[in-house]
Structure 1
Amino acid sequence: MTGPAAVRAALPRLLTTLAPHQAAVVRIGVAGTWGAYLLREWPNRRVLYGDRSPWSAALNERLLADTHAFTALSWSDGRWWFEAVYLLALLSALALALGWRTRASSVLFALTVLSLQNRNVFLGDGGDNLVHLMAIYLVFTRCGRVWSLDARRRARRPGKDPSEWGEPRALADALAAMLHNCAMLVIAVQVVLVYATAGWYKVQGSRWQDGTAVFYPLKLGYFTPWPELSGLLGGSLLVTFALTYGTVVMQVGFPFSLAARRLKNVLLAVMVVEHLAIALLLGLPFFSLAMVSADAVFLPTAFLLAVRGRAAGWWAARRPERPGEPGGPVEASAGGSAEAGAAEAGAVQAGPGRASAGEPVGGPGD
């Protein structure tokens, strides 16, 4: 099937909101990572981004004149304006992580992320750059469709049936769904580019070629929160060689693994473990959390639903029963009941022939 017929066949799927669970996990992860970082740096906030920063407002103005980057902190260099923006950044991160008024909070989150990061561009690392990009992309997604306070509110107060919508509302909904799908595709492509460029740059480095690149950060005091553990790993030539070459192989091979669902899932699990190890061994928790949050765009929907089901069962088993409250399973998510979750999982496992709104970017039924 080619030409106009193929377009007509694909159009209903393109106008359906895809990968809502992956979007929710990316939303929670990115907002939670940035919020945790702001809380950790609360005592140092004025030195990092405020009126006490060595990178003064005057120097930043000169840089902004060349880059034309946005930051609300350029409107005033007073302390209380900075404090208001910083507090607003914390509140918007919390609101987005909880999924409260997601459309508004995602815009506010993106503006505050840009405002703080563009106030002092010399503080960021790869994780901050990824948060910067994801904050922009999330504005165009429907990341509050599930696992959010918005979804809980919609479940309690459902609106009109879609069949009752007028043409303008239905058209706007279809365009919003298509915009969401495009944004999720951009997020997936961004993650692929991150791994592909990192992997191919490593291939060109002599330390990565001879298998010793991992050895050096394990010997630097700045990257050794656990000196004994780092010394144990760095003292083994075989371990450092395997970690060095394994990192390169995974990063270079990940884009190609997307054609094979099972291989992609295996590599994704290994890379998540690698990021958690980086957080522990090198003391880079926020970089690792940002990477894991972005990687979530490729997580299988069936896996996310299974995790949700286990979490709901664990909560139901430990939740004290209230007098007069009926027994049985509690709601598995803010967006629907446990039965709805099971039905959705069945739709995901039905195969490529049955499209599901829960399918991730990786491919049908993935």
Structure 2
Amino acid sequence: MTLLSSPTSQAPAQPVALVPHQRTGFWGVLRRSFVLDLRALALLRVATAAVILLDLAIRSTDLEAHYANVGVLPVSALMDHAWTPYQFSLHAASGLWQAQAVLFAVAAAAAVAMLLGYHTRLATVASWLLLVSLQNRNPLIGQGGDDLLRMLLFWGMFLPWGRVWSWDARSRPAPAQLGYFSAATVAYVVQLALLYWCTALLKNGPEWTKTGTALYYAFSLDQVLLPGGRLLYPYPALLRFLTFAAYYTELLLPFALFIPVGVKWWRLLVVGVLFGFHLSISFTLYVGLFFIINMASVLGLLPPMALDWLTARAAPHAARTRRWCPSLPTWPLPWRLRLERTRPSTADGRRLARTVSNTFVGLVLAYVCWWNLDDVAVLRPAGHLMAAPVRWFGYLFRVDQHWGMFAPAVFKDDGWYILEGTTNTGRVLDLNRSGAPMRYAKPASVVALFKNDRWRKYSENILFVNNAWMRPYYCNYLLRIWHENPAHAPLRHLSVVYMKEVSLPNYQVSRPTREVLCDCEPVKP
């Protein structure tokens, strides 16, 4: 790992040249695309930690429903239907929601430490470990943004994103250079490119590549449609243009990350376009934290001129903050947990550590590229490139990834849920509307039926035939929480009904059909 810039203070007031000594030769030119600013990495760390805290806050509202044995996925069902022998999960060690609450609190503490840059390496490792554990506990509510958040933490364990703008940096001399290059910076840049390339290549349906109707069908899905999408929906020509614009943005924009000439301008272009791209998604489609995670992920690409501008404007506020900011104690950690350097190292020791780290990261990056190539069907017309026995590493360290949002084509099956409960007196109630009399009419906002995007994703997964095993657990959970409220009328039967409404071309409207996903009755004492 080599630092490549002129000596500067931790928060320079003047612009800083990232590469003061021009490197010559092919490799010197090639590496320019992978030199990152330490300040950009610090912003990436802060944004990643903030997203983790937001994710924990949202998930914590469903501790019992999503992570306890009395919820929709008991540990026994997880092990029987949604587990691989190479996974691990501390959250699966107990089926009590109280145990989940403790783990959530530990994860939040680790994320706060990472945000502040306090024992940064240890906090990053702990955050990665607990995030993997949490995602493994309930894979039925996961989405593509979770894969990206997990990979940001994984590569972050090998990045010096606590070297500046952190609590750890207060007790260390300012870095002599701000430019940083290593195998981890290569992995970070390549990971972002793989994300968008594979997203585009997986979208090989005619709606994306030929007819340009993908966004028409996406905005036909009431389960994800937001007001912004509703405004665009009546304009087919505009939707066709935006479909191709989205497809070719994902396919072509990543190439700009590898152009070794005018790197700062290409990176500004990439960051600006992707910020606008994901911001537009947030106004049109209900995708949970997906857009926030993607926007946070590109902050490490910010070039020095953008960071100089930011530093100059943030410096006065930072000075005021330091006056009242308390000092955190430097608690001694057991030697087995000390992942940060605690004593001066020798040149040979540093060289060995760099070699081991870069070699490991390089091997994992090659594995990740292999995994993604295997995932993109257009590049493997016959069979899989990666044999099943080799996949254990991806599942164990959770570097497995799939970037198939709305791929290969957009779902055509839309609809809404009705929780049809029958009381002991024969009345039929809709539990989705707090026990109001049953009504089969389509609600004004289908999105409003979901408490959060985790529940929306769960309701999407429960529709698949191979996930039919999930349905009785969901039905029994609904019955239990209904009867926990003494004001609710006792039910003798509950049906989870899906009003299926297939999306048709040219703004045609299909007639909804009633599909009963599962029936259940209260367990008699």
**Cα distance, 1:137 vs structure 2:** 1.5
User: Which residue is equivalent to 1:123?
Assistant: 141
| Corresponding residue of 1:307 | 310
Match of 1:287 among 281, 287, 290: 290
CA-CA distance at 1:218 after TM superposition: 2.2
- Aligned-pair distance for 1:68? 0.9
Paired position in structure 1 for 2:332: none
Q: Return the offset for 1:106.
A: 0.7
Is the Cα–Cα contact under 8 Å of residues 225 and 283 in structure 1 kept in the other structure? yes
The amino acid of 1:240's aligned partner reads L
1:278/1:285 contact within 8 Å kept: no
Cα offset, 1:30, TM superposition: 1.6
Q: 2:276 aligns with which of 249, 252, 273?
A: 273
Q: Hey, what does 1:208 align to over in structure 2?
A: 208
Q: What is the CA RMSD across the aligned residues, in angstroms?
A: 3.2
Structure 1: distance between partners of 2:64 and 2:147? 21
User: Paired residue for 1:68?
Assistant: 86
- Note if contact 2:67-2:74 (Cα within 8 Å) is conserved in structure 1: no
Q: Shift of the alpha carbon at 1:313?
A: 4.4
What pairs with 1:76-115 in structure 2 (closer than 5 Å)? 76-115=94-133
C-alpha separation between the residues in 2 aligned to 1:125 and 1:23? 25
> Partner residue of 1:232?
231
Residue 219 and residue 152 in structure 1: after superposition, are their counterparts in 2 closer, same or farther (change >3 A)?
farther
> How does 1:1-366 map onto structure 2 within 5 Å?
19-62=37-80, 66-154=84-172, 181-202=182-203, 204-209=204-209, 210-226=211-227, 229-258=228-257, 259=259, 261=263, 262-313=265-316
The structure whose RCO (Cα within 8 Å, separation 6+) is larger is 1
- Return the offset for 1:189: 0.8
* Contact 2:36–2:300 (Cα < 8 Å) also in 1: no
d(CA) in 1 for partners of 2:266, 2:155: 27
**1-structure distance, mates of 2:268, 2:219:** 28
In structure 1, C-alpha distance between the alignment counterparts of 2:287 and 2:235, rounded to whole Å: 22
Distance 1:293 1:206, change over 3 A: same
**1:197 to 1:53, Cα distance in 2 relative to 1, 3 A:** same
| Cα distance, 1:267 vs structure 2 | 3.7
Identity %: 26
The answer to whether the 8 Å contact 1:212/1:240 transfers is: yes
Which residue identity lines up with residue 162 of structure 2 in the other structure? G
Distance 1:239 1:308 in 2: 40
Distance 1:223 1:82 in 2: 29
In 2: Cα distance, 1:230 partner to 1:65 partner? 36
Dislocated runs of 4+, deviation >6 Å: none
Structure 1 or 2: more helix by fraction: 1
Largest Rg, 1 or 2 = 2
For residues 79 and 285 of structure 1, the distance between their equivalents in structure 2, rounded to whole angstroms, comes to: 23
Structure 2 CA distance, aligned partners of 1:247 and 1:125?
19
Deviations 1:271-319 (A, max 9, x none): 2111112123213351111111222232212212312322334667xx5
Corresponding residue number in structure 2 for 1:329 = none
- Offset at 1:264? 4.7
The Cα shift of 1:254 comes to 1.7
State the shift of 1:184 in Å.
2.1
Q: 1:241 to 1:117 in 2, by over 3 A?
A: same
Output the CA distance in 1 between the equivalents of 2:285 and 2:201.
Answer: 22
The answer as to whether partners of 1:23 and 1:297 remain within 8 angstroms in 2 is yes
Report the counterpart of residue 363 of structure 1 in structure 2.
none
Three-state SS of the structure 2 residue aligned to 1:53 is: coil
Long gaps (5+) in structure 1: 163-176, 323-366
The one-letter code of the counterpart of 1:218 is: F
Residues 19 and 206 of structure 1: CA distance in aligned 2, closer, same or farther (over 3 Å): same
1:62 & 1:70 partners in 2: Cα distance? Answer: 14
Asked if the contact 1:195/1:251 (under 8 Å) is kept, the reply is yes
Aligned residues: 289
2:40–2:299 CA contact under 8 A, matched in 1: yes
